[in-house]
Structure 1
Amino acid sequence: MLDAAIDRFCRAIDVLIAAALAVMVVLVFGNVVLRYAFNSGIAASEELSRWLFVWLCFMGAVAALKDGGHLGTDMLVARLPVAGKKLCLVLGHLLMLYVTWLFLDGSWQQARINMDVEAPVTGAPVAIFYATGVFFSLCAGVLLLLQLVRVLTGRVADDALVMVKESEEQAELESLQAELARAEAPSDDTRPPSAIGR
């Protein structure tokens, strides 16, 4: 039930990301057209686009955290035994929770400080900009805690202990390397080329 709620929340985030991207495209492209065609523009376009971009990035980071889509390397962890993988996973989550707490604390302080500061064009509180950090930290903290509880209670399969996902480019590269190795491997026929065909 909890997993279903998290999935629904992340799908809602995906919809918001798409909406923010669409609004950004309209604002930026519309401003370009207005400036070139009518020598005017939307005054708030740049400010709103910048804020939407920041919100888009942080919402995307939440969705990526849920799917394990962030960059990482498994060069060491993949070679460890199951107990070592679990230990690394727990330590990694504890470190990420600490950094998330630091990020939440700093973002919250900045949001409070800038609550009464108005943006130069729209006049909206600048705290909206810093609220992205609060939103991300709260969502990331909940996701990380849930993942940590799953690991500690043994509800994570052994093959899911390495949380870095292989990129499509890496999979393609390894496939090409395997094909190249097969092509360069000596064939069963070890006769010299001059002897073949006699």
Structure 2
Amino acid sequence: MFVITMLTVVFRVILKIPASWSEELAQYSFIFLAFIGSAAIMQDESHIKITVLIDRMSERVQKILRIVGRLLMLWFLAIFTLGAWDNVRLNWTIELPTVAWMKIGYMYLVLLLSGIIMIFYLLLNLYYDLTGRIPAGSGTGGAA
């Protein structure tokens, strides 16, 4: 993404050539980075969260709220992933206007893969909560 953005600047400022293809590729690479990164941090639940109220509750209530929250996220991610699959099939051959080799279906493929990874880690953390097992390598005493 950085290289593509730098190329955009070089083409526009130095060479005085409009490069709309580089802007589109930079946008898509940002989307790829955001969704793949989001899937990667699902494993240890590193997403931003506000825990002011939850920290004041008992461990049992915290566990119940985590389970309910995970079930709600699972519902959302299932819809997200199925929608991404539908869009992969529908847009696999549709080209970007300025980049013929880049298909819109590729973006939806990244969304599909990130959705699958997020569902996997969500189910894994739900399993840890339901069984009371501690994830390997976790020093926290349980999946938080």
* TM interval, short-chain normalised: 0.7 to 0.9
What is residue 89 of structure 1 aligned with on the other side? Answer: 66
Partner in structure 1 of residue 116 of structure 2: 138
Give me the whole-angstrom Cα distance separating, in 1, the residues matched to 2:11 and 2:59. Answer: 60
Gaps of 5+ in 1: 1-23, 164-198
Query: Structure 2 length normalisation: TM-score?
Result: 0.85
Residue by residue, what CA displacement relative to the aligned partner does 1:140-182 show, whole Å, maximum 9, x if unpaired? 000011111111111149x65683xxxxxxxxxxxxxxxxxxx
Aligned-residue RMSD, C-alpha = 2.0
Partner of 1:119: 96
Report the counterpart of residue 38 of structure 2 in structure 1: 61
Q: Which amino acid aligns with 1:66?
A: Q
CA radius of gyration, larger in = 1
Alpha-carbon deviation of 1:128?
Answer: 0.9
What is the 5 A alignment of 1:1-198? 24-42=1-19, 44-123=21-100, 124-156=102-134, 163=144
Post-superposition offset of 1:41 = 5.0
Q: Which residue of 2 aligns with 1:194?
A: none
Kindly indicate which of the two structures has a greater share of residues assigned to helix.
1
State how many pairs are aligned.
Answer: 139
Contact 2:85 2:108 (8 Å CA) reproduced? yes
Deviation at 1:97, TM superposition (A): 0.8
